[in-house]
Structure 1
Amino acid sequence: MLNRADIFGAIEARLPQSAGDGHLAVMMLRVEGLHEVSLRLGYAIGEEAHRHAWERIRAALRPIDRVFCAGDDRFALVLPGLHSHNHVLLAAARLVQTFERPLLDLPYPLQGRPEMGVALCPDHADTPDLLCRRAELALSAAHARGESCVLHEPCETQVEIVYEELREAIEANRLSTYFQPVWDLQRGAIAGVESLARWTSPRHGLIPPSSFVGFAEKSDLIQALTRWSIGTTLRHAAMLRDAPPLTFAINFSPRVFAKTGLVEQLMDLLEIWGLPPSVVVAEITETALVNDLDAITQAMWRMRERGARIAIDDFGTGYASIAYLRRFPASELKIDRSLVCDVAHDPRTAKLVQSIIQMAHHMDMATVAEGVEDRATQDLLMSMGCDYGQGYHLGRPEPADDFVARHTPAAKTI
């Protein structure tokens, strides 16, 4: 657990009092694979590995530096009196070097590659709380980029998400579900919805999904967020059981999609709510398919065999080729909005979109155009044979409760 009081106290005691005191660096360091040692080999060996890691870190630092345990695989470092950013990088280089040999004589070598995020006082913050949070953000960035050390970058941080606040919001059901309609372009009727998560933070107000979903992706919160999204989407879907048939598209993180048991959890929830698997469209981005091809392909097949549908999201912007597509049991291709927005104005883009639609149909997949913003685009996509569309011209996201109220048979007879 994070020893917050001791860490904050050590930071407070070393805050620079004048320009001559130099910089104070707060570093959050994660040792890759350290947590898994306890799970695979037992807590006693895990604690020994953790102690060895702490000793390695301590030996690589100066006597005035402090090291604190901040989790199963994390450490908080307080480094005072640094005269430039280069001194931080030198400290990081020493820490990387000290983990070049295995931590323990284990059945498999634990190299323990470190990932580090750093915030500086006074450059980035001047309070213990803010320094720690910004060091955590930098650590998340280091993990996402595959880099060993990242300094806090203020220009890239729009909203600072606090882990505990987002976790509590998910657990206490303080997020909201919005539905954006997906139209059958050929019939001119709503065919389904895409389920979207929204979060209004007491501290920041409305948080962009790109911020909190992106933060969840870089932490273990993405699993809880996905479970919440599935549960609340199916709960609203059950309220529309007597309405004309609709599908409900749910975005799945690649980190969650390939997890053992996900398909079974989805099927259990469908059974609880009395819904057939065919109402679910599991959306996964094209780029994610390339990153973890085998595991995600296996999960796709299990989901399709149970009767759910699979959509490849943002198609046309990533790296999937026809050779990849033949391996995926996808039922739909979602054409990325960056292509759709130009389809009515750029002949070359129009030819590309037409080719994607024809290719998908030859492979027995439906096509969904994202970002349909005007009638001209809708008409052109219809003439191309595109099956479905979504965008502000066809319908904006709205609270799921409002959508349900307008589309239940009872509401229509009033």
Structure 2
Amino acid sequence: MSERAHILPALQGSLDRARNESGLCALLVVRLRGMREAQLRYGYAFGDDIMLAARERIASVLRHFDTVYLAGDDSFVVVLPSIRNRTHALLAATRIVGSFDDTPLIHGDRNWHGRAIVGVALCPDHGTAAELLFRRAELAHDEALRVGEPFAIYQPEVTPVEILYGELRDDIAANKLDVVFQPLYDLRRGEIVSVESLARWTTSAFGVVPPSDFVPFAERSDLIVPLTRWSLNASLRHAAALHRGGCPLDVAINLSPRVFAEQGFAEQLLGALEIWGVPPEATIVEITETALLTDMDMSVRVLRRLRDCGVRVAIDDFGTGYASFAYLRHFPATELKIDRSFVDAIVSDRRTEQVVRAMVEVAHRLGLEAVAEGVENEETLRRLVEMDCDIVQGYHIGHPMPAEAFVAERLAAASMV
């Protein structure tokens, strides 16, 4: 049971009492950025003391009858009864955020500089049930994270996809996401040679959440690093099963450029390969073309370390960003993945076909393998064969399927040979 479930009855009691008084009431979710990482680094006792100090600080900038609840390792819920309007709730959020801006929280001889992000929901405007208001305040918090603001109020028209920061964070930690493998086909060898590992997330409340929603959300928040770590280990676990079973395939894992800023990330990745027994040469890390522009020096430094140890590097979605040939010349890539928006149009548009042909030639001149994404039919495949493309991927080759089922199918086929 989560901390949220423990405090819901108390929250409901506070809301019911507030509704009997004049005016509106508000529920605020307050989350301290970096608190969980501080607890892991300095210990849970440090985290507990800092959270108690943070609670006192929040209470010190509110009214004496406002209530502050501890809601998790890095979060609080605040109930504000008898407010006149939404502006008063936002003023309270401003005071909470401001209380952490300049003065650090102190534990022993160690200072901790916290940053608060606040989501606001109003009762009865946004609901009267504690759980519903809690969820909507979390949605407002997530919207504040998305747009880079310190606080936000719930607006249903702005947050149509209910991705909850806390729910995604908890599901990553509890290993509740799934891995699917999509095969890649070598046109010269005439066989499947690798798989791309992709994350999938299904929630109990809303069902399947598209990766196009939760991955960018994780990118905007501090969840992309734990999501990447989870994806790395989950992918390698299934890849290791293929290697042990005698039918090894290379595995491609998507990385966010944000993980490159993590201290020792290359060593963590190499350590994971050693733990799972997957050779570096059988591992491909994929980064989008925009990563070349995010922090070129950092990206090159980390990826060159991986390349020196045998890990391959693919530039994903090539053609959709603004990378120059100068970047490609210095970037330690081994593969160039041509974006599906180009590949899909080569049959219907002559100019696009020539652009893709040029991309394949550029890849080969740079000593890279050319990989075409989004191959959906036989005619597209035939054109790519004519262009001397190396590897193809798409629904015509194979749909993504649960990694466990993919591994079982490959091992069963191998045992029959």
Question: What TM-score does the superposition give when structure 2 sets the normalisation length?
Answer: 0.80
Counterpart for residue 211 of structure 2? 209
Instruction: Give the one of 138, 141, 160 matched to 2:140.
Output: 138
Query: d(CA) in 1 for partners of 2:66 and 2:409?
Result: 62
Question: What is the SS of the residue equivalent to 2:321?
Answer: coil
Question: What is the SS of the residue equivalent to 2:183?
Answer: strand
Counterpart for residue 230 of structure 1? 235
Q: Is the 8 A contact 1:161 1:215 kept in 2?
A: no
- Give deviations 1:299-357, integer Å, cap 9, x for gaps: 21121111111112222333433343344211112222233223333344334433433
The alpha-carbon distance between structure 1 residues 167 and 102, as it changes in their structure 2 partners (threshold 3 A), is closer
In the alignment, is residue 127 of structure 1 matched against residue 129 of structure 2?
A: yes
Q: Is the 8 A contact 1:226 1:253 kept in 2?
A: no
- Compare 361-370 and 259-268 and name the one that shifted more: 259-268
How far 1:258 moved relative to its partner? 4.7
The alpha-carbon distance between structure 1 residues 276 and 14, as it changes in their structure 2 partners (threshold 3 A), is closer
The alpha-carbon distance between structure 1 residues 59 and 355, as it changes in their structure 2 partners (threshold 3 A), is farther
- Compare 369-378 and 193-202 and name the one that shifted more: 193-202
Aligned length: 411
The alpha-carbon distance between structure 1 residues 52 and 399, as it changes in their structure 2 partners (threshold 3 A), is closer
- Give deviations 1:10-68, integer Å, cap 9, x for gaps: 44322488799544322222344566677788889877765664444334333442223
Query: d(CA) in 2 for partners of 1:4 and 1:197?
Result: 27
Counterpart for residue 78 of structure 2? 77
Query: d(CA) in 1 for partners of 2:49 and 2:245?
Result: 54
Q: Is the 8 A contact 1:116 1:142 kept in 2?
A: yes
Counterpart for residue 377 of structure 2? 374
Instruction: Report the AA paired with residue 62 of structure 2.
Output: L
Question: What is the SS of the residue equivalent to 1:154?
Answer: coil
The alpha-carbon distance between structure 1 residues 201 and 69, as it changes in their structure 2 partners (threshold 3 A), is closer
Q: Is the 8 A contact 2:228 2:255 kept in 1?
A: no
Query: d(CA) in 1 for partners of 2:199 and 2:148?
Result: 28
Instruction: Give the one of 127, 135, 151 matched to 2:153.
Output: 151
Structure 1: which 5+ runs fail to align? none
Instruction: Report the AA paired with residue 313 of structure 1.
Output: D
The alpha-carbon distance between structure 1 residues 215 and 15, as it changes in their structure 2 partners (threshold 3 A), is farther
Instruction: Report the AA paired with residue 241 of structure 2.
Output: H
The alpha-carbon distance between structure 1 residues 79 and 340, as it changes in their structure 2 partners (threshold 3 A), is farther
Q: Is the 8 A contact 1:240 1:404 kept in 2?
A: no
Query: d(CA) in 2 for partners of 1:56 and 1:288?
Result: 39
How far 1:249 moved relative to its partner? 1.1
Counterpart for residue 362 of structure 2? 359
Query: d(CA) in 1 for partners of 2:244 and 2:316?
Result: 26
The alpha-carbon distance between structure 1 residues 234 and 257, as it changes in their structure 2 partners (threshold 3 A), is farther
**Percentage identity across paired residues of the two chains:** 43
Q: Is the 8 A contact 1:236 1:401 kept in 2?
A: no
Query: d(CA) in 2 for partners of 1:108 and 1:60?
Result: 24
How far 1:280 moved relative to its partner? 0.9
The alpha-carbon distance between structure 1 residues 12 and 410, as it changes in their structure 2 partners (threshold 3 A), is same
Query: d(CA) in 1 for partners of 2:4 and 2:273?
Result: 41
- Give deviations 1:281-303, integer Å, cap 9, x for gaps: 11122334433444433221121
